Each structure stands twice: as structure tokens, then as C-alpha cells.
Amino acid sequence: MLSHELWTANADLRQACLEHPFVQGLGNGTLEGDAFKCYVAQDVFFLKAFFRAYGLAAARCPDLERAGVFHGLMGGVLEELKLHEGYAARLGIDLRTVRPYPAARAYTDFLLRTAWHEGLDRTVAAMTPCMRLYAWLGKKLRPRLRLDHPYQRWIETYSSDGFEDLARSLERLLDGVATDTPAVRDAYRYAMRCEHDFFAAAMEETG
Amino acid sequence: MTSFDQSRLVRGAGELWKQGTEAAFLDAVRDASLPRPAFDRWLVQDFLFVQGLTVFASLVAARAPRDAQRVTIQGLAALNDELDWFEDNLEQRGLDVHPSPHPVCQRYTDYLLASAYGKPVEVLLAIFFGVEAAYCVGWGRCEPKGPYAEFIERWTSPAFIKYVRVLQGLVDTHPHPDQQAEFDEVMRLEHDFWEMTWKE
């Protein structure tokens, strides 16, 4: 299947994400609170764009069945946003004043350009890495959970069966609407690169 | 030298305007010390950028209020001529006419297209003015002589300056509170674009 081939072809980037100090710190519970705060704030900005991109993808579907799947995925993003709003309230982040970092803006501009301007195949290819990567990272980090782990909720959310189902439904859409073209491969890989840069920015910006 | 110092957005951008219009790259063009490979790397990316800008301009023209239609449609036609010129020029120089985008170039064109669909048209006029004014003033710091005279002359022509001044006027007649923030973002992207060519 195309989704599996693309995931395998980008093993280098997913491994780089897993090994990034931000993700390792998240798993070990040693990540500085400021870096996590920064990440949460930036991720809220990102998720709002992701939500819109799903909406644009739904509008491009010729059939209501697939549009309905995007509708379900939009619900998943709203759940994630609730999780983040909970973090923001606890960590004292004012989400109204968040300014996106260049890495976040590069990622959201890429997603929205693709969703507005390119075909459904490239749009789904640009959106799948985020979902599959987070489901994979969640499962990789889950064995490190312990009592009083500071990032327990994050790890539990992304390693959950519910999140895996969302990732799989997006991959099924990818397999249904896309063929193996250079443009689809480029969109998938660029999104994976953006994921890595997004983690890196949270640490770089907080020193 | 061409100046847009009377522009509200240029004044508001302050240091960012300077960063978007002054660059070591342009200094090296001016004193003829820029190595040709560095110029060629920039030129192929600028070709890709102009392709993105052409799509942006077409969307602005499609959404423009009546008094902005003439200049945006004329701008679009000029960009089409520019693409023809780029294709001929790149071929003559033996350069790739189907290059891969540098991340900085991709970032900039993603920004333009995402904005073209999603931002108010008044903001798009500010973005358009920012892109063209930075180019106009950046190249306007160079005298049309030396190995890059043809390029300097092309991008400092009186017709180009006049066109940018019309865009400046449209920004003033169609104000929007988000214009400054996006004009500033254009200057950041311009800065990165000038710098891009130094690295392989």
C-alpha cells in the first residue's frame, strides 16, 4: 500500500524525530517545562491550520463518504485542541497572544497552500505524516511511562487506540485517493521534515 | 536611488525594511565580486519564486476590487513575460529550468499561496507591494554595469518603479489592520531569500 511505502521510505526522518532531544526528553520526562510550553503554544497554532486543511480536503471529495471521514478527523483535531487548552490553562499559557515561530508558520503555510491549491492526493499526503508519526512516537514512548511522569497525558493520548484509528483512517484515504507520484512523495517527505523542524524549534527558541 | 520612504508600511517596518532590501548578495553584485555559481543558484530559485508569484498575482487579480484590477492584471501579464525571459535566460546559461526548490524559496511561495486564498484582499495588496518594492529597491542600490548589468537594468526600469508606486497607492486606498504584520513577514522572507544563495 502507498501509505506503507511512504512511511518506510521516510524511515530516516521518523527516526530523526524519535531521536531528537525534544522527543527523548518528552519520553524520559526530563524535557524542560519551558520547551514543552513553547511546543504546546505552537502546536495550537498548527492544529488550527490542520483543522482547516481537513475542511478544505473534505470540500474536494467527490463523494460524501470520504468527506465524512474528514469530518470525523476534524473531530479528532478538536479533541487534541481541548487537550492543549487544558495544558495551556495548567501551564499559564495565554493562547491569544501566541505568535508562530518560523518553523510552525512554514509548516502551516505549506499545508494550507497544498490544501487550497493542490489536489486531494497531495493534500492527504501532506497531512498523513503528522498523524502516523505521532501515533508511532506515542507507542515508542509508552513503555517509559511511570508514576508521576510529567508528560503522561501526552504519551497516553498519542499511543491510544483512538489515535491509532484516526491515523489509520487517514492512511486509508491516502491509499484511496493518491497514486505513487513524485509530487505525492515530495509532499509526504516535506511534511515529515516540517515535523522534525517543529520539534527542533521548541528547543531552539527556549535555548 | 528609488525610495519608498513615504510608504506607511515601509516606515512601520523600520529595521525589517532594511533587512529585506540590503544584502551581502546585492553588495557583491554591485561591486562585481559575486561568483557566477552563487548568482546562478539564486537565479534558478528566483525563477521558481516568480512562478509562485505569478500564481499569487493571478489570485490577487481575481479577488481585487475594481480600482486594483488594472494594475494587478498588468502585473500578471508582466510576470508572464518575466517567466518567458527566465526560461530563455536559464537555457542560454545552461541552467536547470526544472530545479528543486530551496527550502527558503519553498517557504516563501507557500506563504504567498496560502495567503492568496486565506487572507483579506487588502492584506494581499500589502504583500504584493512588499514583494515588488523590496525587489525594486534592492536592485536599485546597484548601478547597471559589470557582469550582471543586464539583470540590474531589467529590475530597475522606470516602468517597474511606476508599477510598484501604483501598488503603494492601492495599499493606502485599501487599508487593513493586518497589513503591517504581513508586510513585515514579507521583509523577513526577502531577507532569507537574498541570503539563501551563499550556501550550496
Kindly determine whether residue B110 and residue A106, on different chains, have CB atoms separated by under 8 Å.
Answer: yes
* Residue of A38, A171, A194, A195 with catalytic role: A195
- Give A181's contacts (C-beta < 8 A, 6+ positions apart): A121
Considering the domain boundaries, does residue B4 fall inside one? no
Residue A125 belongs to domain with CATH number: 1.20.910.10
Helical segments of A1-101, H only: 2-9, 11-19, 21-28, 33-60, 64-91
- Give B16's contacts (C-beta < 8 A, 6+ positions apart): B184, B187, B188, B191
pLDDT tens digits, one per residue of A83-120: 888 888 988 888 888 889 999 999 999 999 999 999 99
Tell me which amino acid residue B140 is: G
ipTM for the predicted complex = 0.89
Q: Quick one: what percent of chain A has pLDDT higher than 90? A: 84
| The pLDDT value given to residue B94 | 93
Query: Using CA atoms, how far apart are residues B72 and B64, in angstroms rounded to an integer?
Result: 8
User: Is residue B200's pLDDT more than 70?
Assistant: no
| The pLDDT value given to residue B199 | 62
Question: Phi and psi for A178 in degrees, rounded to 5?
Answer: -115, 150
Kindly determine whether residue A190 and residue B109, on different chains, have CB atoms separated by under 8 Å.
Answer: no
Considering the domain boundaries, does residue B80 fall inside one? yes
| The pLDDT value given to residue A155 | 96
Query: Which of A105, A116, A190 is closest, CB to CB, to B113?
Result: A116
Query: Which of B103, B109, B118 is closest, CB to CB, to A116?
Result: B118
Residue B33 belongs to domain with CATH number: 1.20.910.10
Q: Quick one: what percent of chain B has pLDDT higher than 90? A: 79
| The pLDDT value given to residue A204 | 84
Q: Mark whether A205 is an active-site residue.
A: no
Which chain A residues are Cβ-neighbours of B55 within 8 angstroms?
A: 117
| The pLDDT value given to residue B3 | 84
| The pLDDT value given to residue B172 | 95
Considering the domain boundaries, does residue B81 fall inside one? yes
Structural domain boundaries, residue B104? 15-196
pLDDT tens digits, one per residue of A45-87: 999 999 999 999 999 999 999 999 999 999 999 998 988 888 8
**Burial class for A170, CB neighbours closer than 10 Å (0-12, 13-18, 19+):** buried
B 43-82 residues with CB < 8 A to A: 55
Q: Mark whether A130 is an active-site residue.
A: yes
Considering the domain boundaries, does residue B10 fall inside one? no
Residues A1-21 have a mean pLDDT of: 98
Q: What's the grid cell of residue B80? A: 508572464
How many contacts (CB atoms, under 8 Å) link A and B? 35
Q: Report the gap between the CA of A108 and the closest CA in chain B (Å).
A: 9
| The pLDDT value given to residue A109 | 97
Total structural domains within chain A: 1
Q: Report the gap between the CA of B189 and the closest CA in chain A (Å).
A: 10
pLDDT tens digits, one per residue of B70-108: 999 999 999 999 999 999 999 999 998 888 999 999 999
- Please name which of A77, A76, A69 lies closest in space to residue A48, comparing C-alpha atoms: A77
Considering the domain boundaries, does residue B187 fall inside one? yes
User: Is residue B113's pLDDT more than 70?
Assistant: yes
Kindly determine whether residue B114 and residue A112, on different chains, have CB atoms separated by under 8 Å.
Answer: yes
Structural domain boundaries, residue A97? 2-204
- Please name which of A113, A105, A54 lies closest in space to residue B56, comparing C-alpha atoms: A113
Considering the domain boundaries, does residue B114 fall inside one? yes
- Please name which of A128, A98, A125, A126 lies closest in space to residue A110, comparing C-alpha atoms: A126
Residues B170-197 have a mean pLDDT of: 95
Q: CA torsion angle for A53, A56, A60, A64 (degrees, to 10)? A: 100
Considering the domain boundaries, does residue B9 fall inside one? no
Whether residue B79 contacts residue B139, with contact meaning beta carbons closer than 8 Å, is answered with no
Considering the domain boundaries, does residue B100 fall inside one? yes
Q: Quick one: what percent of chain B has pLDDT higher than 70? A: 98
Mean pLDDT rounded to a whole number for chain A: 94
Total structural domains within chain B: 1
Give B1's pLDDT tier (boundaries 50, 70, 90).
low
Mean pLDDT rounded to a whole number for chain B: 93
**Minimum CA–CA partner of A107 in chain B:** B107
* Residue of A17, A38, A130, A194 with catalytic role: A130
Q: CA torsion angle for A80, A155, A142, A71 (degrees, to 10)? A: 0
Residues B10-30 have a mean pLDDT of: 94
| The pLDDT value given to residue B145 | 86
Which chain A residues are Cβ-neighbours of B113 within 8 angstroms?
A: 109, 113, 116-117
